[in-house]
Structure formats: C-alpha cells, structure tokens
C-alpha cells in the first residue's frame, strides 16, 4: 500500500497554528500551509493550439518542464486534480487547483470548470472538472474518462486519533439550484440540486487479502459542506472527528456514511495495483486507524458533476488533538 509514513505527513513549523481550545493542540499537515508549489510546464498538442499550460502540485518549490507524468515528491503527502491527459493521441493539461497569494504567503484555490478538447473529425470532449486536493496521488497520464476514482490513490498511513480537522477557508458560489453533468463523450445534462464545497476526512483500519483486495473498517469521520458565499476568510475552522458507528449521532449526515462499492475510493495495494477500498463496516470507537483519507473539493458530488464557477479556498490545514 501507500509507502509515505506519518512522520512525513505531520510536521511542526509549517505555518501559523490555529488557536486550539484549552487543553488541546494542533499539529500541521506537511505543506498544508500551501506556500510551496511545483510548477509543471506542459506543451499541449499542436492540433488543439500547441499552448503551454502550467499545472501546479503541492510540494517543495520546483519547476518541471516536459510532458512527463508527475510522480509525487516523497516530502509531500498531497495530490491534486490537476492532470496531464493523453486522449486519442492528443496531449492536454487540465488545471483546477492553483496557488494564490494570501498575505505574505499563499493558499490553495480550487475551481469547478469545463475542460474541452475539440479536433474536427477526431475528438470532441467536454468534461466538468472540480478542483480537489487530497492526501495521495493521481495516476498519470490519464487516457480516458472511465472510472475516474480508479485513477486516484487515496490515503496515507496514519495511526493518530485527532479530535478535529482545522483549516482556514472561504467559498464562492452563484447559488444555482441546478448543476451540470459532463462526462466527456455524451451530451451535458442538468442535475437537480445545489452544488457544495466539500471537505471529508476518513480514518480507516485497512487490511489486504492474499489476492491483493483491500478492505477497511471506518474508525473516524469528519465532514462539512459549504453552500453559501463566504467572501472573507474563516480562520481556524474546526470540523469535528467522530469515532465509531455514528449513524445515531445527531451530527450524522448522509455523506458521512460508509462508502458504497460503486463510489469507492481506490488505493495502490502491496502488489502496486490500483484497487477499490471496500468499506465493510464501522470499527469500534476506540479502534486505532491505519490510514487517513482527506479530500477538499470545490464540488461535492464526485467526478463530472458540479456548478461552473464555484471556488473553494483553503489554507493552514492541521489536525487538532
């Protein structure tokens, strides 16, 4: 499974600490102050204009030139939805996550937008892409729009038991009561219901069988969705982590339930293969996790569904104990 160790993910001194409640402390997630970024210089195919696109990754400052798949820097636990795609022989970059100046540092901006590739007689693809940052990595190059979750290696080894996820955020939406679904090769569809910015943290106890299948029980859950314009930064916002079977908890929301197999997160197993994570049930409330999934997105309903123009800004991501 994922080879990044907790010691690389959690580190002190990576930005200003949130103000914890009495008797509590916060621990920074490495590079969770979003002050450091890799810039990838991608040359798109000539048949779609041959433009240079800049893709960004959360990692030690660097510039990478050339149309090479990105391999996550071992110092950083973060992946992004920015992607190098090669579809039907055409190279294109998709950019939905950007560094943005904030005071003397930077933050991460996540946008929901449409990405289009059109070449007469060859290809006509329009995809709704939402901006996401997550603990893990993305398998490049992306060659098709099928099964997008299978292209994301979600989660890092983790054995802690935090009381909350802490972050700074702001959110922008036009308040539309409908979304669109654009999967690539089919026509766009209207999807009823408002779009939300989404934050989800899952603590899992995982195991793998002899065939490389990965299973998990849910140890801890933190989730929040943002649906109203928040033009000013909300600093030190805490999202509580709830432990064990929380279906009877007054704070329980449908998105906090066990993940069904048809929407499963995927990971890389010990054989190096990408496989779904089958959540089989709730762990005891005092169980110790083995992995943490953390994802923040500008849209909430998975791949290819959202409202164009929605944006979520995040900064100073920490864990509270």
pLDDT at 121: 64
pLDDT at 120: 64
pLDDT at 248: 97
pLDDT at 185: 72
Question: For the chain, which residues score pLDDT lower than 70?
Answer: 1-23, 120-122
Residue 12: helix, strand or coil by DSSP? coil
pLDDT at 7: 41
Contact 295, 133 (CB under 8 A): yes
- Residues 6 or more apart whose CB falls under 8 angstroms from that of 175 comprise 194, 228, 229
Encode 158-169: b = buried (16+ Cβ within 10 Å), e = exposed: bebbbbbbbbbb
pLDDT at 2: 41
Contact 55, 38 (CB under 8 A): no
Beta strands 37-43; 62-65: pairing state? parallel
Task: Tell me the helix, strand and coil percentages in the chain, rounded to 5.
Answer: 5, 50, 45
pLDDT at 21: 57
pLDDT at 3: 41
CATH class of the region 23-32+104-320: mainly beta
Residues 97-132: pLDDT tens digits?
A: 999 999 999 999 999 999 888 786 667 888 999 999
46 phi and psi, to 5 degrees?
-60, -30
pLDDT at 180: 95
Contact 96, 298 (CB under 8 A): yes
Query: What integer best gives the mean pLDDT of the chain?
Result: 92
Residue 238: helix, strand or coil by DSSP? strand
Q: Please state, in angstroms and rounded to a whole number, the distance separating the CA atoms of residues 188 and 153.
A: 28
């Amino acid at each position: 499974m994922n080879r990044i160790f907790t010691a690389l993910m959690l580190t002190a001194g990576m930005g200003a600490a949130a103000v914890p409640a009495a008797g509590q402390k916060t621990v920074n997630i490495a590079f969770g102050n979003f002050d450091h970024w890799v810039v990838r210089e991608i040359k798109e195919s000539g048949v779609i204009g041959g433009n240079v696109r800049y893709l960004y990754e959360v990692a030690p400052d660097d510039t990478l030139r050339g149309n090479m798949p990105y391999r996550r820097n071992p110092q950083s636990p973060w992946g992004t939805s920015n992607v190098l795609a090669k579809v039907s022989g055409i190279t294109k970059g998709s950019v939905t996550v950007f560094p943005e100046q904030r005071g003397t540092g930077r933050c991460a901006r996540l946008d929901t937008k449409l990405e289009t590739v059109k070449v007469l007689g060859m290809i006509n693809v329009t995809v709704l892409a939402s901006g996401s940052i997550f603990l893990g990595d993305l398998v490049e190059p992306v060659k098709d729009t099928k099964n997008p979750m299978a292209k994301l290696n979600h989660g890092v080894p983790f054995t802690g038991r935090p009381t909350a996820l802490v972050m700074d955020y702001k959110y922008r939406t036009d308040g539309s009561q409908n979304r669109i679904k654009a999967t690539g090769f089919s026509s766009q569809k209207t999807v009823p219901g408002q779009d939300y910015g989404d934050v989800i943290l899952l603590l899992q106890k995982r195991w793998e069988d002899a065939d490389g299948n990965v299973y998990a029980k849910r140890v801890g859950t933190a989730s929040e969705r943002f649906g109203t314009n928040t033009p000013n930064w909300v600093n030190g916002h805490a999202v509580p982590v709830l432990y064990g079977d929380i279906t009877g908890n007054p704070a329980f929301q449908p998105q906090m339930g066990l993940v069904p197999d048809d929407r499963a997160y995927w990971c890389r197993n010990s054989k190096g293969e990408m496989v779904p994570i089958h959540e089989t049930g709730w762990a005891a409330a005092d169980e110790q996790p083995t992995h943490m999934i953390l994802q923040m997105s500008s849209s909430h309903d998975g791949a290819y569904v959202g409202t164009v123009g929605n944006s979520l800004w995040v900064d100073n991501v920490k864990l509270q104990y």
